[in-house]
Structure 1
Amino acid sequence: MNHWDVAALYRFAGIPNAHELRQPVLELAESLGLCGTLILGEEGINGTIAGPRSDLIVLLNKLGEWQPALANLAPSWSESNVKPFFRFKVKVKKEIVTLDVEGADPRVSVGTYCDADQWDAVLADPDVVVIDTRNDYEFKVGTFDGAINPKTRGFREFPSWVDDNLSPDANKKVAMFCTGGIRCEKGTSMMLNKGFETVYHLKGGILGYLRDRDAADSKWQGECYVFDQRVSLKHRLEQGSYSNCGGCRMPLSQTDREHHQYERGVQCGNCAHLYSEDDRVRFGERVRQQQLAAARGEDHLGLSAAALKIKRQQARSLRQARSAASNR
């Protein structure tokens, strides 16, 4: 299939039977040939899934039937000309986006939602502190004019950054944004609990803003990193120019791919020193197998779950090392 509809969605809503939903959701999604990830928890649902729109709607409707708190989900829709995910996964977690702050619950308290026009006005207000709540490597792909980069390696680090850099007395107005809206929405609840008076957040996140804006009328600079095979998106949610390194999984610009140590699917200038020659041979063979699978019109599922876990840990360690170096 050369066309995939992509639905990014979340909702903070009480789901007491999240564990019971996992298997029927997984079975239905697999029977429909969908791919992506859904996270279920007592506080709601979060995820991005892909497939034919009609089949995605079947799943979304079923979610509402099985759990009324999930009725009428309104995803942010985009498209892809490559399969965005290798398989379909359903995870059950304590938090649908991990912040690790007791009492941060958008169902109880939440900041002021801003649509695209309102957000532009917020950005123009010199009294507002605008914060990018995403990870450091996401910020470097693109962000809003004047936004602060907390240089976090994960959302769990955001509360400590707030405690160290902001205060309710000094910062009367705070605005936050993230990819789809879920991180900043939960972040606003935390900020209000800390005593911040006025907290704005971008409704629908960056993806909603880019969907509604042409580049000429936008305050966004660069592209938006996404956690799927498209890697980045531009205005009107068109395919971006970034790719992921086959070794460390960091997003790479065209300039990064022109680095003398870059080898497609194997390594980039950030990670070339981390791998042995045996590693590079294995990575090269993986690229060859991917090419053969594509020629046969088949999916290449790649590494086993255990190997993928190790690879993600390696990529996380590299991001942490780069972030620590940039903070010196």
Structure 2
Amino acid sequence: MALHNRVSAAELKIRLANEPFKRVTISFYQYAKIPDPQLFRDQLYESLFQLNTFGRIYVAHEGINAQISVPDHHFEALKQQLYAIDFLNGIRLNIAVDDDGKSFFVLKVKVRDKIVADGIEDPTFDMANRGRYVDAGTFNELAADPDTVIVDMRNHYEYEVGHFEGAIEVPSDTFRDQLPMAVDMLADKKDKNIIMYCTGGIRCEKASAYMLHNGFKNVFHLEGGIIEYTNKARQQGLPMKFKGKNFVFDDRLGERISEDIISHCHQCGEPCDTHTNCLNDGCHLLFIQCESCAKKYDGCCSESCQTTHALPVEEQAELRKGVEKGLMFNKSRRRKIE
């Protein structure tokens, strides 16, 4: 069998829309030593393909990072497949909080240098020396202490639509920049309890190890991230300390955690937390847009993009020639809506 997709995105989306069964969206990760990432990748792709799994998975020498969806009737088989892999035996599977089953439409498994791009080049850095896990209940207890420092290790556009009460934002566009920034920002708090969190746990786990590597003492990270916290808090009837939406990196672009809307439409300023990508194929800027502005600008981020989007497809393609991709796909906080 081919170990990659050969069907067009348009056809795959039609197939997904016509599926007669439900899907469940799952995320998981594990830091582990994988001697041959390419061989592991190929074997994993073949086994997941047999279960009609969709999603995006990164494999590296340092481990695996996965966000997938699987037919509900294949969930137990998927779990057994994963548990049959030594370093994934008993792995926590984060079940999506607000799931329509349409998170992914194709399976992509890629080999990367790292499962989280961190910019760390210090050979003495060791992921084995990481912070202590805290579950939902312990998180709430520690968060109630005014001397506890809660640190959000996600990007600005994730923090903007939802975060824990009192959480500090590390104002950077990339995780690799956030790590040294967090060390500098918290330099006078090395003896305080510091809780780091992210979406599913993978970034805050590495961040906790980096903080310990830089001399911090009492570092914790939220087990399973926001996703696991939300599921456990609801199951156990705990006070929900997360406000707003949890941004997710799939077609949903967010899952509702609380009814609070803490952000605003980037075009008119009205309360809104709906992320979208500009429909101009030469832009695709990720931004927040309310329904009214979506109609006014035809799903585009500006009048100029709206004008371009209205042109014939051939003319749009001509305009995009020679444009650097970095300018087209820009989630940076420095990129402003006109």
1:315 to 2:333 alignment: no
- The match for 2:302 is 272
Is 1:250 aligned to 2:269, yes or no? no
Change (3 A) 1:272 1:170: same
The answer as to whether partners of 2:156 and 2:333 remain within 8 angstroms in 1 is no
User: Secondary structure of the equivalent of 1:74?
Assistant: coil
Amino acid at match of 1:212: K
Residue 57 (structure 1) shift = 4.2
Cα distance in 1, alignment partners of residues 216 and 115 from structure 2: 24
Unpaired segments ≥5 residues, structure 1 = 284-306
1:45 alignment counterpart? 64
Partner of 2:170: 150
Tell me if the contact between 1:8 and 1:76 (Cα under 8 Å) persists in the aligned partners: yes
The structural deviation recorded for 1:63 is 4.3
Separation in 2 of the partners of 1:249 and 1:29? Answer: 32
Matched residue SS, 2:77: helix
Distance in 1 between the 2:22 and 2:325 partners?
28
2-structure distance, mates of 1:164, 1:191: 10
How far does the alpha carbon of each residue in 1:163-192 deviate from its partner, in whole angstroms, 9 at most, with x for none?
Answer: 432216655321110000110000000000
Report the secondary structure of 1:9's partner residue.
strand
Identity of aligned pairs, percent? Answer: 28
Cα deviation for residue 17 of structure 1 reads 1.9
Q: Tell me how far apart the structure 2 counterparts of residues 310 and 213 of structure 1 sit (CA, whole Å).
A: 44
Q: Does 1:197 align with 2:210?
A: no
Kept after mapping to 1: 8 A contact 2:51/2:74: yes
Q: When the two structures are aligned, how many residues end up with a matched partner?
A: 291
**2:270 aligned with 1:234, yes or no?**
no
Which position in structure 2 is the counterpart of 1:76? 94
Contact 2:200 2:226 in 1 (8 A): yes
State the distance in 1 between where 2:228 and 2:137 align: 12
* CA distance in structure 2 between the partners assigned to 1:310 and 1:7 by the alignment: 34
Question: What does residue 286 of structure 1 align with?
Answer: none
The code of the aligned residue for 1:314 comes to M
Decide whether aligned partners of structure 1 residues 33 and 274 sit closer, same or farther in structure 2, where only a CA change above 3 A counts: farther
Q: Secondary structure at the match of 2:207?
A: helix
Amino acid in the other structure paired with 1:177: Y
Runs of 5+ in structure 2 lacking a partner?
1-18, 259-271, 314-320
SS at match of 1:73: coil
SS at match of 2:92: coil
Determine the C-alpha separation between the residues in 2 that align with 1:282 and 1:4. Answer: 36
Correspondence 1:1-328 to 2 at 5 A: 1=19, 3-65=22-84, 67-78=85-96, 80-101=99-120, 102=122, 103-106=124-127, 108-167=128-187, 172-214=192-234, 217-235=239-257, 242-247=274-279, 248-252=284-288, 256-259=290-293, 262-263=296-297, 266-267=299-300, 271-273=301-303, 275=305, 277-281=307-311, 314-316=328-330, 318-322=331-335
CA distance in 2, matches of 1:210, 1:21: 32
Contact 2:134 2:220 in 1 (8 A): yes
TM-score (norm 1): 0.77
SS in 1 for 2:168: coil
- Contact 2:285–2:328 (CA under 8 A) maintained in structure 1: no
CA contact (8 A) 1:6 1:49 kept: yes
Distance (whole Å) between structure 2 residues aligned to residue 178 and residue 188 of structure 1 = 11
Distance 2:50 2:312 in 1: 33
Contact 1:26/1:90 (8 A) holds in 2: yes
Distance in 2 of aligned mates of 1:273 and 1:71: 52
Alpha-carbon separation, structure 2, partners of 1:10 and 1:158: 20
- Secondary structure of residue in 1 paired with 2:179: helix
Query: How far 1:251 moved relative to its partner?
Result: 5.0
Structure 1 residues 116 and 216: alpha-carbon distance in aligned structure 2, compared to 1, 3 A threshold = closer
Cα offset for 1:36? 0.3
SS in 2 for 1:95: coil
Q: TM-score under structure 2 normalisation?
A: 0.75
Structure 1 residues 315, 46: CA separation in 2 closer, same or farther (over 3 Å shift)?
Answer: same
Q: CA deviation at 1:145?
A: 0.7
Deviation at 1:262, TM superposition (A): 4.8
